[in-house]
């Protein structure tokens, strides 16, 4: 086992009623890396993220987070993860603040850390007084901002995000980009699944392209450009995902 | 009409898909549980009807009155349940945004939603009515055509409360769009219960009195006077007549059937036109007012950093959902009425033996009430995490811990409720002192088992895509949880009846006490409860942990 790796995925497979959503994924991520997974709809991106977070059970394969096998020690492994699903959900009858308090409590964030970090994050994501209103009235963007706050409040080392920019206004999208880059500098590892190619180009230290449940290629943008013979990220993506 | 059929077809396809997704074991367990319930309920009604048929003078009359009374009570219950489900079906459902954006006429949306609402609000009632219809027909040796025609008539009957409830809601929401859901529920519940009370009082004041006579003539007159249970102008009475005339093969059936059919059609047409005028308007107005939010500073405004937060979250979500506490409030009011109705027991039952029998029957009744409360409020608690389950599943908190928090809290509330009810009812009944001590001890185990059954089954059969707790409880999983809970209470009563009977025979009839039988029964009860407490929770946790989210 390579202890310096933050995330190790070995021969990960997932079957849904005879359909193989993931066909043997192998991947290793290091601290300070932003890995962006690209692929068409139904390629297996969300399934991969859900398997890492424990929302799905693998049909085969193993996942290690900081050397901890998620199947053997799920609670220990999950305390190191921060996850944002593709459809952010906040309990409709809770306010944004109540939801954040709930998440921080589940992750057992210390009160002093909570006070400090929540203040910073509320400022960073431009959280207004609406945080004390019921979330059932929030827009998609408001929910995304609350979800980003809860994600970073417990200071995870491995951050998994499914479609981070959906519903965000340009200003918040820029904040998210800057936040991700600063997290990389803090040696956090980010695993992002997205369709937004420009975002991938701006933040990724390494890209992965998945199609039909198979990781077709991984590498830097330059490496992928070399393999595909294309320079533009859109052209690289289309070339590498074509049938 | 074609638009309505199109929307209806979408519902049917969706239902078929959900049925197809069930595996064989689950289908077989559904069939088994439903079969046992239907068989048990049939036997229960059959025994009652057979007994009544054998009672001279008053028996056959009472049999018909019971049928009318049952359908009258169901009518009121269905009105109330339709009001609660309508608010989410017609205003909060997520698909409404899409439906109103499509080129579909509001009338078609209304009819499709009315169908959905009637199914959700009424199918549990129909499950109870079926054995009633069959036992009534078999007791009276009804002809074959009785069964399909009786079921068809009841289905037509179940539509009426849906049309009334939706029409009232549309009008209130259009006239007073600022009202919150809970206020609308309060107003309509007050209106319906008030009108029902006055209607009974004016039509049949005898119904509200306790009858006491040994004179046959008085008895017959009393039974005949009950003809107007709910009055001849109510559909519940017509359904009673339909069943009665059908079972005798009388031609008068046609009159009552056509009367029911035409009145139901009239209600649907009136509701349809009211919906065309009020529904879209009220939906938009409610949406506008709901988007104006208010700041909230609750107990969870502060950060605690421990498991208490999770519990507080559950309480806050409950308190802020009017459907939840309004129904709980109704349960409480009915329970208080029940407890106060017991105050006359020592007057009617002067012999201590009968008071003790009544106290045991009261214990059984309270257990059945708690079984119902458990299905309605505890069973949906896992499903109500909705898509928030991604948070719980991906975070460092085990599902067993979540279940533990929910279990202990629900157990605490249930014990308070059951012990409170037993305490006050036993005081009013003037129960035997030994029963004072024994029943509350047994009640703790009953509470622990009922909470476990409902929580465990709720984890085994969650519905994260449904946000209405009434619908979750009325879904397939909820119905099975109800049947299992009722089955548990039934077995409990049978086991506890053995030592109770032995004790009563000894105390009042001077028969010898059988200690081995008492000890064996109590040990059996304890073992049974160990199984019913640990089993459902264990299975629920295991099933949930294996589940893909």
Task: Answer with the one of A124, A140, A155 that is the final residue of a domain.
Answer: A155
**Residues in chain B closer than 8 A to A130 (CB atoms):** 293
Give the domain extent around B111. 2-11+22-291
Residues A147 and A188 in one domain: no
Q: Which mean pLDDT values do the consecutive 10-residue runs of chain A (243 residues) have?
A: 78 89 91 91 90 91 92 89 86 90 88 89 86 86 88 91 81 86 92 86 89 87 79 77 68
Residues A19 and A56 in one domain: yes
Residues B320 and B284 in one domain: no
Å between B541 CA and nearest CA of chain A: 15
Residues B359 and B254 in one domain: no
Please tell me the predicted confidence (pLDDT) of residue B338: 79
**Chain A CA closest to residue B308:** A105
Asked whether the ipTM of the predicted complex exceeds the cut of 0.85, the reply is no
Q: For residue B353, how many other CB atoms are within 10 A of its CB? A: 14
Reported as a single tens digit per residue, the pLDDT across B3-59 is 778 887 887 887 777 777 767 776 777 787 778 778 888 888 888 888 888 877 677
**Residue B166: exposure state from Cβ atoms within 10 A (0-12, 13-18, ≥19):** buried
Q: Coil, strand, or helix at residue B532?
A: helix
Residues B319 and B283 in one domain: no
* Structural domain total, chain B: 2
B308 in a structural domain = no
- Are the C-beta atoms of B189 and B330 separated by less than 8 Å? yes
* Structural domain total, chain A: 2
Residues B33 and B89 in one domain: yes
**A9 phi and psi, to 5 degrees?**
-115, 125
Give the domain extent around A144. 89-155
Å between A150 CA and nearest CA of chain B: 10
Mutate to test the interface with A, among B180, B290, B305 (most CBs of A within 10 A): B305
Reported as a single tens digit per residue, the pLDDT across B344-380 is 766 666 777 777 888 888 898 899 888 988 998 999 9
Please tell me the predicted confidence (pLDDT) of residue B406: 92
Residues B273 and B321 in one domain: no
Taken in order B421, B330, B66, B232, is the CA torsion positive or negative?
positive
Residues B282 and B328 in one domain: no
Chain A contact present for B290, CB below 8 A = yes
B174 in a structural domain = yes
The answer to whether the Cβ–Cβ distance between B546 and A57 falls below 8 Å is yes
The answer to whether the Cβ–Cβ distance between B390 and A85 falls below 8 Å is yes
Residues B284 and B375 in one domain: no
Residues A67 and A133 in one domain: no
Q: Please enumerate in sequence order all residues whose Cβ is within 8 A of that of A223, keeping only pairs 6 or more positions apart, or say none.
A: none
Mutate to test the interface with B, among A48, A91, A147 (most CBs of B within 10 A): A91
B346 in a structural domain = yes
The answer to whether the Cβ–Cβ distance between A101 and B388 falls below 8 Å is no
CA nearest neighbour of B456 among B518, B407, B515, B419 = B407
Residues A73 and A185 in one domain: yes
Chain A contact present for B295, CB below 8 A = yes
Residues B287 and B365 in one domain: no
**Residues in chain B closer than 8 A to A79 (CB atoms):** 396
- Are the C-beta atoms of A195 and A178 separated by less than 8 Å? no
Chain A contact present for B434, CB below 8 A = no
Q: Which CATH number do you get for residue A192?
A: 3.40.50.300
Please tell me the predicted confidence (pLDDT) of residue B211: 52
Mutate to test the interface with A, among B91, B94, B396, B544 (most CBs of A within 10 A): B396
- Are the C-beta atoms of B45 and B136 separated by less than 8 Å? yes
Residues B341 and B467 in one domain: yes
Q: Which mean pLDDT values do the consecutive 10-residue runs of chain B (549 residues) have?
A: 78 77 72 80 85 76 80 87 86 82 85 89 84 90 90 93 93 85 84 81 57 60 57 83 87 89 94 90 80 69 77 87 75 78 71 80 88 90 85 85 92 93 86 82 94 94 83 82 89 90 83 87 94 94 87
Chain A contact present for B145, CB below 8 A = no
B299 in a structural domain = no
The answer to whether the Cβ–Cβ distance between A56 and B310 falls below 8 Å is no
Please tell me the predicted confidence (pLDDT) of residue B432: 78
Residues A170 and A194 in one domain: yes
**Chain B CA closest to residue A118:** B303
The answer to whether the Cβ–Cβ distance between B548 and A54 falls below 8 Å is no
CB nearest to A103's CB, from B391, B393, B549: B391
Residues B119 and B260 in one domain: yes
């Amino acid at each position: 086992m390579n202890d310096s790796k933050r995330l190790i995925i070995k021969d990960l497979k997932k079957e849904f009623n005879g359909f193989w959503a993931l066909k043997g994924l192998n991947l290793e991520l290091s601290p300070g890396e932003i890995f962006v997974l690209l692929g068409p709809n139904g390629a297996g991106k969300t399934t991969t993220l859900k398997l890492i977070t424990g929302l799905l059970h693998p049909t085969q394969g193993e996942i290690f987070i900081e050397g901890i096998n998620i199947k053997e020690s799920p609670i220990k492994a999950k305390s190191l993860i921060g996850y944002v699903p593709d459809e952010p959900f906040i309990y409709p009858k809770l306010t944004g603040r109540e939801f954040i308090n709930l998440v921080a409590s589940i992750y057992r964030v210390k009160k002093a850390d909570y006070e400090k970090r929540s203040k910073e994050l509320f400022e960073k994501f431009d959280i207004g007084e609406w945080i004390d209103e019921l979330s059932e009235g929030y827009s998609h963007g408001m929910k995304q901002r609350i979800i980003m706050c809860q994600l970073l409040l417990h200071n995870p080392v491995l951050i998994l995000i499914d479609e981070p920019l959906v519903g965000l206004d340009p200003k918040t999208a820029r904040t998210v980009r800057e936040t991700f880059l600063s997290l990389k500098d803090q040696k956090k590892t980010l695993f992002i699944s997205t369709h937004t190619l420009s975002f991938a180009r701006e933040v990724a230290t390494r890209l992965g392209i998945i199609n039909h449940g198979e990781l077709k290629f991984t590498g830097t943008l330059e490496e992928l450009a070399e393999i595909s013979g294309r320079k533009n990220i859109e052209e690289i993506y289309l070339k590498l995902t074509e049938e | 009409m074609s638009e309505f059929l199109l929307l209806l077809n979408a519902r049917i396809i969706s239902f078929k898909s959900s049925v197809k997704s069930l595996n064989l074991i689950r289908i077989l367990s559904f069939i088994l549980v439903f079969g046992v319930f239907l068989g048990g309920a049939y036997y229960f009604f059959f025994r009652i009807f057979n007994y009544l048929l054998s009672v001279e003078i008053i028996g056959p009359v009472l049999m018909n009155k019971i049928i009318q009374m049952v359908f009258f009570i169901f009518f009121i219950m269905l009105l109330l349940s339709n009001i609660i489900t309508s608010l989410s079906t017609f205003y909060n459902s997520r698909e409404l945004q899409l439906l109103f954006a499509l080129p579909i006429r509001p009338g078609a949306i209304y009819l499709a939603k009315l169908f959905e609402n009637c199914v959700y609000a009424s199918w549990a009632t129909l499950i109870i009515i079926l054995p009633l219809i069959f036992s009534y027909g078999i007791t009276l040796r009804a002809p074959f055509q009785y069964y399909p025609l009786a079921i068809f008539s009841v289905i037509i009957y179940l539509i009426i409360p849906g049309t009334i409830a939706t029409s009232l809601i549309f009008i209130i929401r259009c006239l007073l769009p600022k009202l919150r859901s809970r206020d609308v529920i309060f107003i309509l519940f007050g209106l319906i219960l008030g009108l029902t009370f006055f209607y009974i009082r004016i039509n049949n004041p005898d119904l509200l009195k306790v009858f006491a006579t040994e004179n046959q003539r008085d008895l017959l007159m009393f039974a005949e006077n009950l003809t107007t249970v709910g009055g001849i102008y109510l559909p519940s009475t017509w359904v009673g007549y339909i069943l009665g005339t059908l079972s005798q093969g009388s031609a008068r059936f046609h009159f009552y059937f056509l009367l029911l059919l035409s009145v139901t059609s009239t209600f649907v047409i009136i509701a349809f036109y009211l919906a065309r005028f009020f529904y879209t308007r009220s939906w938009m107005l409610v949406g506008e007012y709901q988007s104006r939010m208010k700041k909230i500073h609750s107990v969870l405004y502060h950060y605690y950093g421990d498991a208490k937060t999770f519990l507080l979250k559950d309480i806050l979500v409950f308190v802020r959902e009017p459907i939840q506490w309004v129904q709980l409030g109704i349960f409480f009011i009915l329970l208080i009425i029940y407890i106060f109705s017991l105050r006359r027991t020592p007057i009617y039952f002067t012999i201590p033996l009968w008071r003790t029998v009544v106290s045991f029957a009261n214990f059984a009744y309270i257990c059945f009430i708690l079984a119902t409360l458990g299905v309605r409020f505890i069973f949906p608690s896992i499903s109500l995490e909705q898509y928030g389950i991604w948070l719980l599943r991906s975070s460092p908190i085990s599902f067993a811990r979540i279940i533990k928090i929910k279990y202990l809290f629900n157990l605490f509330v249930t014990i308070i409720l059951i012990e409170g009810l037993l305490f006050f009812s036993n005081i009013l009944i003037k129960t035997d002192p030994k029963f004072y001590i024994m029943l509350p001890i047994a009640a703790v185990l009953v509470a622990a088992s009922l909470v476990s059954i409902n929580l465990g089954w709720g984890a085994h059969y969650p519905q994260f895509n449904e946000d209405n707790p009434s619908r979750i409880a009325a879904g397939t999983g909820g119905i099975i949880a109800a049947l299992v809970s009722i089955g548990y209470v039934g077995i409990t009563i049978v086991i506890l009846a053995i030592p109770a009977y032995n004790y009563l025979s000894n105390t009042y009839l001077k028969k010898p006490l059988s200690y081995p039988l008492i000890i064996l029964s109590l040990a059996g009860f304890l073992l049974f409860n160990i199984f019913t407490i640990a089993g459902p929770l264990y299975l629920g946790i295991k099933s949930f942990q294996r589940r893909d989210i």
